[in-house]
Amino acid sequence: MLSSVPTRDVAENPLSEAATLRILNAFAVDVIAIPSVEDLFWYVAQNVVGQLNFVDCVIYQADQDQTELTQVAALGEKNPYGRRIINPLKIPFGQGITGQVAQTGQAIIVDDLLKDQNYIPDTQPARSEICVPLVSRGRVVGVIDSEHPDKERFGKAELEVLTTVAAMASAKIELLAEVERSKRRYQDLVKSHAQLGEEISNRKALEAKLFEARKLEAIGRLTGRFAHDFNNLLTVISGNLELLEADLGGPLSTGSLQDAQGAAARGAKLIRDMLTFSQRVRLSPEVCDLNRLVAATCASHADILSAAIDLTLAKDLCSVNIDPKVAENALLNLITNARDAMPEGGRLEIGTQNIRHCLCDNHGLATDLAPGDYVCLSVKDDGVGIPQHSLQQIFDPFYTTKAVGSGTGLGLSMIFGFMQQTGGAVAVTSDVDQGSVFRLYFPAVPSDANDLLTKTP
Ligand SMILES: Nc1ncnc2c1ncn2[C@@H]1O[C@H](COP(=O)(O)OP(=O)(O)OP(=O)(O)O)[C@@H](O)[C@H]1O
Ligand SMILES: [Mg+2]
């Protein structure tokens, strides 16, 4: 860095052009390392202007509102030692020569201050003055001012030198301001990032709590309903066994035996549905024609529905590799639900279709479904529909809205587990008072396997 040197009179000891250039070049290099605006102002006043043979220099800084200048660095009378300024003046924009330069953004040279009414004397009255603005991003941020005790001491050369110093200082001020803005932006970013992280962890904690609450609710419902239904079945079985014991060989035996067997069968179905839901049932899949399975199921259970069934079965339907008995049970569960949703009767449509599923099409799916070819079995009713809040729960085991004794809440749960185990999925769409559509997506058996199936005698 340039060192502080005693001042010299411009006229008495003029600097050569080469010396001036050397000083300005050194300033251009040194300015890179100057860390703050305050350091910059003192450096310019004491080292640069001092070395350039100006007898005096005062640097003024403008306030944020651009209304007032304050003396912030100096060399000469105002600066006895170090970074001290005697009686630092404040000058409003527009007043005096420095105030005028600040307001207009134009440099001024005054040859004879005695003839200038604008002159505001500071420590010692001077005769000539030069003042140039410091401009950053189009705003005057300060001025560099130099006075001389003699008149007519500043000309084109001094103006050029001070304007160059001011331009370099202004560029550095702009850079320091940008660094400050970047620092603030970075701090804001760090703050928002921390806030976001906190929000995410709060949200995760809430979700975990909600999940835990729903899990406990489902387990409570499961054990409660199971105990209740199983207890009813045991009551029927043990009651009938007591009757049988009392009437061994008598007329009551046949009816009681039938009731006991019925209760045992319902108990076995309850267990089977629970196992299917938990995907612990052993499936016996075979390649089969879903159209044939649907037609046979509808024909043999026509009595379930008062409404007529509209069948729309696709021609050239791909084969599926499924356990036909469990599939029939799943279809029967859907038909029974549709019947219950249409107590006054209604329209039930059952259809089959080849479907190419892509990732973006997950409308109503209860679980993810890998992209690929599927055979879709749909069951559509125009019954009461399912409210939005129940849609989240209908696949939960033992979730039922039916009266005690009318439903176990395992029909859709077993379908859910069965579809998962089969490599497919179940989907539902429903509107209250409009009806519901349940769709079962079974993986289609590739066409080569279909050919084999057709050729098999
Ligand atoms: N097609 C439908 N229309 C309206 N609501 C339906 C329909 N299908 C199912 N639901 C609702 O979903 C609930 C659960 O159905 P799910 O088949 O699992 O049990 P459930 O029919 O109540 O008893 P079950 O074990 O005898 O089948 C039903 O109680 C009902 O509220
Ligand atoms: Mg049901």
The DSSP annotation for 386-443 comes to --HHHHTTTTSTT---SPTTT--S-HHHHHHHHHHHHT-EEEEEEETTTEEEEEEEEE
Q: Once rounded to an integer, what is the mean pLDDT over residues 2-10?
A: 37
Closest by Cα among 41, 293, 8, 291 to 165: 41
Ligand 1 atom closest to the Cα of residue 414 is 18
Q: Once rounded to an integer, what is the mean pLDDT over residues 284-290?
A: 96
**Is residue 296 pLDDT above 90, yes or no?**
yes
Q: How far is CA 445 from CA 67, 368, 384, 441, in A?
A: 83, 20, 35, 12
Is residue 285 within 8 Å of 321, Cβ to Cβ? yes
Q: How far apart are the first and last CA of the chain?
A: 101
The response to whether residue 381 sits with its C-beta less than 6 Å from ligand 1 reads yes
- What residues have a C-beta under 5 A from ligand 2, the ion? 337, 411
| Smallest-distance ligand from the CA of 438 | 1
The response to whether residue 410 sits with its C-beta less than 6 Å from ligand 1 reads yes
Closest by Cα among 86, 131, 77, 79 to 106: 131
Residue nearest to atom 27 of ligand 1 (CA): 411
- Which residues fall within 8 angstroms of residue 164, CB to CB, at 6 or more apart? 24
The CATH architecture assigned to 17-184 reads: 2-Layer Sandwich (3.30)
Q: What's the DSSP call for residue 347?
A: -
Residues of the chain with CATH 1.10.287: 197-277
Is residue 210 within 8 Å of 234, Cβ to Cβ? no
Q: Quickly state the pLDDT bin for 3 (edges 50, 70, 90).
A: very low
| Dist. CA 163–CA 167, nearest whole Å | 6
The pLDDT, as a whole number, for residue 454 is 47
| Dist. CA 134–CA 58, nearest whole Å | 13
The pLDDT, as a whole number, for residue 213 is 74
Q: CATH number of the domain at 197-277, out of 1.20.1740, 1.10.530, 1.10.287, 3.90.105? A: 1.10.287
| Dist. CA 313–CA 337, nearest whole Å | 21
Closest by Cα among 7, 23, 157, 168 to 78: 7
**Is residue 374 pLDDT above 60, yes or no?**
yes
The pLDDT, as a whole number, for residue 419 is 95
Residue 334 Cα, ligand 2 centroid: separation in angstroms? 7
| Dist. CA 251–CA 106, nearest whole Å | 124
Q: Quickly state the pLDDT bin for 223 (edges 50, 70, 90).
A: confident
> What is the chain's mean pLDDT, rounded?
88
What is the number of H-type helices and E-type strands within the chain? 11, 13
Q: 188, exposed or middle or buried, with CB in 10 Å at 0-12, 13-18, 19+? A: exposed
| Dist. CA 172–CA 190, nearest whole Å | 27
The pLDDT, as a whole number, for residue 117 is 79
Q: Quickly state the pLDDT bin for 307 (edges 50, 70, 90).
A: low
Q: Once rounded to an integer, what is the mean pLDDT over residues 208-224?
A: 77
The response to whether residue 397 sits with its C-beta less than 6 Å from ligand 1 reads no
Q: Quickly state the pLDDT bin for 6 (edges 50, 70, 90).
A: very low
Cross-strand pairs, 436:
381, 430
Backbone φ and ψ of 116, nearest 5°:
-105, 115
Residue nearest to atom 28 of ligand 1 (CA): 400
**Is residue 451 pLDDT above 90, yes or no?**
no
| Dist. CA 212–CA 219, nearest whole Å | 10
**Is residue 306 pLDDT above 70, yes or no?**
no
Which amino acid appears at position 339 of this protein? R
The response to whether residue 408 sits with its C-beta less than 6 Å from ligand 1 reads yes
Q: How far is CA 165 from CA 21, 50, 161, 277, 370, in A?
A: 11, 12, 6, 83, 70
Compute and round to an integer the Cα radius of gyration of the chain. 47
| Dist. CA 390–CA 399, nearest whole Å | 9
Backbone φ and ψ of 3, nearest 5°:
-100, 160
The pLDDT, as a whole number, for residue 90 is 95
Q: Once rounded to an integer, what is the mean pLDDT over residues 113-123?
A: 80
Q: Which of 229, 394, 426 to mutate to test the pocket of ligand 1 (most atoms within 8 A of CB)?
A: 394
Closest by Cα among 43, 69, 50, 55 to 10: 55
Residues of the chain with CATH 3.30.565.10: 286-455
Q: Quickly state the pLDDT bin for 457 (edges 50, 70, 90).
A: very low
| Smallest-distance ligand from the CA of 403 | 1
The response to whether residue 333 sits with its C-beta less than 6 Å from ligand 1 reads yes
Q: Does domain 286-455 bear CATH number 3.30.70.260?
A: no
Task: Look up the pTM and report it.
Answer: 0.57
Q: Once rounded to an integer, what is the mean pLDDT over residues 241-258?
A: 80
Residues of the chain with CATH 3.30.450.40: 17-184
Q: Which of 412, 426, 429, 432 to mutate to test the pocket of ligand 1 (most atoms within 8 A of CB)?
A: 412
Q: How many CB atoms lie within 10 A of CB 358?
A: 9
The pLDDT, as a whole number, for residue 448 is 66
Angle formed by the axes of helices 324-341 and 411-422, nearest 10°? 140
The residue assigned the tokens 């209908």 is 394
| Dist. CA 107–CA 150, nearest whole Å | 20
Which amino acid appears at position 224 of this protein? G
pLDDT digits (tens, 9 = 90+) for 136-147: 989 999 999 999
| Smallest-distance ligand from the CA of 339 | 1
